[in-house]
Structure 1
Amino acid sequence: MTVKWARGGPDLLVALDRETGQLGAQIQDQLRAAIRDRRLGAGERLPSTRQLAELLGVSRGTVVDVYEQLLAEGYVESAVGSGTRVAVMPTPAGFPTPAAPESSRPVEIDFEYGIPDLGSVPLTDWSWAVSEATRTLPTAQLGDEVLAGSRHLREVVTSYHRRVRSGVAGADDAVVVSGFRQGLTFALAALAQHGIRRIALENPGPRDHDVIARRAGLEAVPVAVDAQGLDVGRLRETGARAVLLTPAHQCPTGVALGPARRRELIAWADDVDGVIIEDDYDAEFRYDRQPVGSLQGLNPARVIALGSVSKTLAPAIRLGWVLAPQRFVTGIIEEKRLSSRGAPGLDQEALALLMETGRFDRHLRRVREIYRARRDVLAAEVEMAFGPGQLHGLAAGCHALLHLPAGSSEPAVVAAAATLGVRVNGLGHYLVEGSDPEAFPPALVLGFGNVSEHQIRRGIRAIAEAHTMWLPCPPTSPRNFEVTRQ
């Protein structure tokens, strides 16, 4: 992609040796070389003759002569009102040519997990909040932030967590971070500082958590998930003193950690002097059940809770928080100080205002109904395509798990769906590295946060067609589907 610099674009680096003279020839040679080497791309605007002359400390006439010579040689083009731009040059021998894109059908329907409805992001409210933060934030707070993050945002976030998630953290227990993964990285480093060397992970579970744990110097061990969530009995067998889990709506199976398991997990942490890291990623979205409180409220001395606005607002608003026992807060802040110096202060103030004024909750109420409607369409389409009882994890969140018929090839269905323009991931995509995919039933993870109801209908019908494409003898389907191509 060509960068379309405006008329008053950036300067241009040309180094002149004034002792040797012939300044015009030097400028010509350096511009030719920059164009040949593609350091100046086709269509890029060159500085005006006046601007370049002032920059280099030469007469404007010298630069005019240079541009006229390059124009005559075909290196540049000039048009009234458009200035002087780099011409399209033939690719010289030996110069690498851009690789041609692979021929594949473009993605028309994307069931990717974890993406909210980007068309429903409250940009007007966010714009208001940023403007209000810019207007009201004292200039003294425009420097480096307090290491733990904006006090205002920490007070708002912890108040929200206490009211909505039944937590008990205060502002002094909170650290503002640039999203969940940064918070997780800091938390794992703090655990390592306290002598914890092994962490248990849900299997299947969120992508890359095992990689992040190993990068922090911890050994990652998988623990199975069943209909009640993480198997705490197996957790005890691992010898781990830390566990990372998604208890409110397990990723990717969609189950909630059962009441008995929650009690067992808290007891395990006390017995082994352990730590529970709670990924509280989409608890705000629930449909057919009562809210499930945060584990942090059950045992704040043993739980580190992490949250962000990536699922509730948008990933581009890269803000999150860590709520931690006091013995870990200092280590988390030190990791933050050494690695990032913090999240943007104006954005922190804007988020605090968005939440404090009720705009955040108004947005959540609105998108919750959007997701409920999409979930209902998804459930109806899957039942017609694959029969009843195949879709799980529907009571909350923005994704569900579709169990494929026994004997199905999960990778083959995923690949076949891609040829129909549908992107979807199989359950194997979420297994801890080293796990045997054959030990898990074939299933697909269907994120419905950023797909319309119409796309859901088309997408499920395409997946049903994809499921038959790899079979030698397609079985009788509950419905004869024909994918509508638009």
Structure 2
Amino acid sequence: MLISLDRSSDRSLQEQLFEQIRQQILDGRLKAEAAVPSSRHLAQQLGISRNSVTFAYERLITEGYLVTRPMVGTYVTSAMPEQVMSAGSGVGASAKTDTPMPAERRPPERLAPAAFTGRPHSILNNSRIPIDFWPQRTDPRAFPLKTWRRLILHSLAVAGHNLTEYGDPCGLMALRTAIAEHVAVMRDIHVRPEQVIIVAGAQLALNLTLRVLAREGDAIVVENPCSQGAAYLFESVNMRLIPIDTDDQGIDTKALGGETAQLAYVMPSHQYPMGGVLSLERRRELLAWADRTGAYLIEDDYDNEFHFGSMLLPALKAMSPENVIYLGTFSKSLGAGLRTGYAIFPDHLAPAAAGAKALLDNGQVWLEQAALAEFLLTGSFVRHLRRVRLRYQQRRDALVAALRAHFGRIEVRGAEAGTHLAWKLPAGLPRAHQMAAHAKSRNVGVYTIQSGGGHEYGTADVSNDWLLLGYASLSEEQIEAGISRLRDLI
């Protein structure tokens, strides 16, 4: 396997390595079922850190180009992702055109390449691992199916012309009103319904925010590690990234120092992936920095509904309404399959946001919006949250107890909120990517920061030492069995 890395390039070594191996697979120079060198051997051959090779391999595995065979090695997959989408695989032609073509079938040189240069983030997990601590999964059994069926049927009965005509691109006014009332009670955020824009999840809300506020080359402060979906989005629109380290109290506001930026993206209630909760003192320091520099803050409050024990701290939007864009989603509280989230803009940005949303798409599906509005307005959502919060807290307790029982003194982050926590591997244990691979061989899914949907800037010091464990979709018995199997591995 011939690899040539350019250390003077502005592209990272792991990204260059990923692209070159991927291209050799697509060109047929690396055949299906061919073994690739171990990460240690390839790192020695290229004179680079083993981490760079490991992360490149992890991405190739995640995107379906390589497969691991426990205790044997890593091999080129027998079915390329591109081939899966090709004619003859049972997938329609429209899907095929969205897929990169092998080198010999690329368009003629006279045609320009795609303008988009971004990379997809890890959001899909089709694993059939029996005990899977996937951090971005909630409990399907917790979904209020009977209530939702009743609301859908009621909405259909009164639909009238709503199923056959376009609605407001910014969303159904009944739902925007219900969300404005909900955040006023739950997060002390007081806004007009017109400031609320309905979108297909927090990722689209973030895209919309950048469309309203960001220009190429603008500086943005990001947490380190950061949510992968956000990190790759900022990268794709050529923003200048200013990573600031996090700890158990969230982003280190002291490290902001004299930094200036147009935007800052933060997750104060439960930072992803590390789980830190931004302290009240740091919230004030962050807002003071934003006031001093004129920066807008993008507050991603993706799972604030699940806070255990101590009082939930005020939202940044409640503390400073005019320079905070607030992002919310129902993916964690109800289900990601609903594809419903929202962005709340300051009053002076609401008209621009409405215009941008209208150009972005023609609005969300009416039926789900109508059912969700009724779900919120009747108090069913709050009752659902009370039930699910207790269930998730019990599973959180079971996970922490199992880790302590099998590993003694432990260090975790994010246990006070959300649906996942980060566990620092004790000294002497294999590193995170090795633990994840070994665990998979025992039918237990645990995740590194990268494979779990996070992204670390810099040296990957954190990624080597921490695993992400989601507990929302597992029973207490499964949690105990999974952690017991991890202990048996050691």
Equivalent residue, structure 1, for 2:467: 444
> Following TM superposition, by how much is the alpha carbon of 1:361 offset from its aligned partner in structure 2, in angstroms?
1.3
Structure 2 CA distance, aligned partners of 1:245 and 1:162? 21
Is it true that 1:218 corresponds to 2:239 in the alignment? yes
Q: How much does 1:374 deviate?
A: 0.7
User: What is the alpha-carbon root mean square deviation over aligned residues?
Assistant: 2.3
Q: Tell me what 2:272 maps to.
A: 251
Q: Aligned residues: percent identity? A: 30
Q: Residue deviations 1:284-335, cap 9 Å, x none?
A: 1122111222110100101001111100001111111100113332333333
Amino acid at match of 2:131: I
Cα deviation for residue 282 of structure 1 reads 1.0
Q: Aligned partners of 1:365 and 1:118: how far apart in 2?
A: 16
CA distance in 1, matches of 2:283, 2:175: 29
| Shift in alpha-carbon separation, 1:359–1:406, aligned structure 2, 3 A | same
Written as runs of structure 1 = structure 2, the 5 A alignment for 1:26-175 is: 106-139=128-161, 142-175=164-197
Which 4+ stretches in 1 moved above 3 angstroms? 37-41, 427-434
Distance 1:321 1:40, change over 3 A: closer
1:196-345 equivalence runs, <5 A: 197-345=218-366
Paired residue type of 1:442: D
Q: CA deviation at 1:40?
A: 8.7
Residues 425 and 444 of structure 1 are in contact (CA less than 8 Å); yes or no, is this contact kept in structure 2?
yes
| Whole-Å separation in 1 of the counterparts to 2:462 and 2:138 | 31
Q: Quick one: distance in 1 between partners of 2:178 and 2:131?
A: 37
* Larger Rg, first or second structure (1 or 2): 1
Q: What is the CA-CA distance between 1:198 and the residue it aligns to?
A: 1.3
Q: Give the deviation of 1:143 after TM superposition.
A: 1.4
> In the alignment, is the contact (CA less than 8 A) between 2:330 and 2:341 conserved in 1?
yes
Aligned-pair CA distance for 1:441: 6.0
Indicate if the aligned counterparts of 1:202 and 1:230 stay in contact, CA closer than 8 A: yes
Aligned to 2:484, which of 458, 461, 484?
461
Secondary structure at 2:422 match in 1? strand
Kindly tell me: are residues 38 and 318 of structure 1, through their superposed partners in 2, closer, same or farther at Cα, counting changes over 3 Å? Answer: closer
Tell me, yes or no, if structure 1 residue 424 matches structure 2 residue 453. no
Change (3 A) 1:251 1:434: closer
Name the SS of the counterpart of 2:409 in structure 1. Answer: coil
- How far apart, CA to CA, are the structure 2 residues paired with 1:450 and 1:109? 10
Letter in 2 for 1:171: P
- Contact 1:196 1:241 survives alignment (8 Å): no
Task: Find the residue that maps to 1:257 and give its secondary structure.
Answer: coil
By how many angstroms is 1:464 displaced?
A: 2.1
1:253 to partner: Cα distance:
2.2
Question: Taking structure 1 as the reference length, what is the TM-score of the superposition?
Answer: 0.71
Name the CA distance, whole Å, in 2 between partners of 1:464 and 1:299.
46
Distance 2:462 2:200 in 1: 36
Work out the CA distance in 2 between the residues paired with 1:464 and 1:221.
38
TM-score, length of structure 2 as denominator length: 0.71
How much does 1:391 deviate? 2.8
User: Gaps (5+ residues) in structure 2?
Assistant: 1-86, 92-126
Mapped partners of 2:405, 2:284: distance in 1: 39
Q: For residues 156 and 301 of structure 1, do their structure 2 counterparts lie closer, same or farther at Cα, with a shift above 3 Å needed?
A: same
The aligned amino acid for 1:460 is I
CA distance in 2 between counterparts of 1:40 and 1:324 reads 43
Change in Cα spacing, 1:40 to 1:299, as seen in structure 2 (3 Å) is closer
- Residues 191 and 328 in structure 1, CA contact (< 8 A), matched pair in contact too: no
- Residues 224 and 457 in structure 2, CA contact (< 8 A), matched pair in contact too: no
Q: Please tell me whether the aligned partners of residues 162 and 366 of structure 2 are also in contact (alpha carbons under 8 angstroms).
A: no
Equivalent AA in structure 2 for residue 425 of structure 1: Y
